[in-house]
Amino acid sequence: MNIETFKESATTVVKVTGRLDAVTSSEYEQKFNALISDGETIFVVDLEKLDYISSAGLRALLATAKRIKGKSGQLFLANIAGPVKEVFNISGFGSIFPVYESVDCALNAVAG
Amino acid sequence: MIASMSKITFAAQVEKLADIEQFVDACAERFLLDAKKTFGLHVAVEEVFVNICNYAYPDEEGEVSMSTGIEDDALVLEISDHGIPFNILVLPEPDTSLNIEDRTIGGLGGYFIRRLTDNVTYRREDGKNILKLVMRRIS
C-alpha cells in the first residue's frame, strides 16, 4: 500500500494505492493519526487506485472516520470502483460514508 | 469426492498474508476464476486466515493448512487449524444500516466469507477446525 497526500485549500486529499488489508491497515491509521495531529480536519480519500480491501481495511476506514468526526472534521470518499465497490456495497459502508464519483466532485461538496 | 487435493501449510501469523495472497492467486489462476470471483476469494481467505491468527492459538504458535481441489466442477479450498474450537460462520450478521457513530466491525469477516463464496461449511474433525470454501466459475 502507498499513501500520497496533497492539500487543496483547506482539504487534505489522500490517495491510497494498492491493498488495504490486515497488514497494511495499521499504516493507513497511523498516517491519518499523524495528519489529524497536524491539525487537519477535512479529508477526501481517493480510492481510484485501491486494488483490494478486506474487513480489516474497512475497520481502519471506520476508526479513522470516527476520530475525524470526534474532532468535528469531515471525511469524503471518492472513486470507489470495481470489486472494491462490491465490498463497500455488501458491507453497507457505501452508504455510511459520503461517497463521490471523483475527487473534484468531493472537493465541490466540501466547498459547497 | 474431492479430486487431487494438494496441501500447503503456513505459520498462523498475520505477516504471512502476502504468502497467502500468492497462494490464492495461484489457485484462482489454475482454476480460471474470473477477476471478481478471485477478488471475493482473496477477501474470504484473508478473513479466515486473520481470524485464525488472532484467536485460534492464544497460548502457542500455530499453523494454518490450506488444501485445494476440484469437487463437482467447483474449486474447493479447505482451511484448517488445530486451535481452539471456533466456527466463524455462527457470528451474528452485522447491522449494515447503521451510521458512522454506531457502526462496528464485529461480524463483518464472517459475513464476507458467506457473501463472497458460493458455499461455505464448518466442521470440527480430528481436533481441527475446518472451513470448506466452494467457488464456482459461474454463480
Return the CATH number at B124. 3.30.565.10
Q: How far apart are CA B116 and CA B57, in angstroms?
A: 26
The verdict on B139 touching A (C-beta cutoff 8 Å) is no
Which CATH number among 1.10.8.80, 3.40.50.620, 3.30.750.24, 3.40.50.2000 corresponds to the domain A2-111? 3.30.750.24
Half-sphere exposure of B132 (CA within 13 A, CB side): 14
Q: Does residue A75 carry a pLDDT above 90?
A: yes
Tell me the residue range of the domain where B128 lies: 3-135
Residues of chain B neighbouring A87 (CB-CB closer than 8 A): 43, 112
Q: How far apart are CA A23 and CA B50, in angstroms?
A: 10
Q: What is the 3-state secondary structure (H, E, C) of A39-51?
A: CCCEEEEECCCEE
Q: Which of B40, B47, B100 lies nearest to residue A65, judging by beta carbons?
A: B100
pLDDT truncated to tens, each residue of chain B (139 aa)? 566 678 999 999 999 999 999 999 999 999 999 999 999 999 999 999 999 999 999 999 999 999 999 999 999 999 999 999 999 998 888 888 888 778 776 678 999 999 999 999 999 999 999 999 999 998 6
Backbone phi, then psi, for B64, in 5-degree steps?
-125, 130
Q: Which of A54, A59, A62 lies nearest to residue B43, judging by beta carbons?
A: A54
The number of folded domains in chain B is 1
Q: Which candidate, A108, A52, A59, A80, places its Cα nearest to that of B20? A: A52
Q: What is the CA radius of gyration of chain B?
A: 15
The verdict on B55 touching A (C-beta cutoff 8 Å) is no
Decide: helix, strand or coil at residue A17.
strand
Residues of chain A neighbouring B15 (CB-CB closer than 8 A): 23
The verdict on B2 touching A (C-beta cutoff 8 Å) is no
Q: In 10 A of CB A42, how many CB atoms?
A: 17
